[in-house]
Amino acid sequence: MSPSQESVYPEYETDTSQTSKLIRKFKETPFVPIGMAGFAAVVGYGLYKLKHRGNMKMSLHLIHMRVAAQGFVVGAITCGVLYSMFREYVVKPKE
Q: What is the pLDDT of residues 20-67, one digit of tens each?
A: 887 887 787 778 778 888 889 988 998 888 888 888 888 898 899 899
- Would you say residue 75 lies in a domain? yes
Closest CA to 73 of 15, 30, 19, 34: 34
- Would you say residue 54 lies in a domain? no
- Would you say residue 76 lies in a domain? yes
pLDDT of residue 8: 60
- Would you say residue 19 lies in a domain? no
DSSP 54: T
What number of residues does the chain have?
Answer: 95
- Tell me how far apart the alpha carbons of residues 80 and 74 are, in angstroms, rounded to a whole number: 10
Question: Phi and psi of 3, rounded to 5°?
Answer: -65, -20
Q: How many domains does the chain have?
A: 1
Question: Residue 67 is part of which domain span?
Answer: 61-94
pTM, entire model:
0.62
CB-based contacts of 73: which residues, under 8 Å, 6+ apart? 35, 38, 39
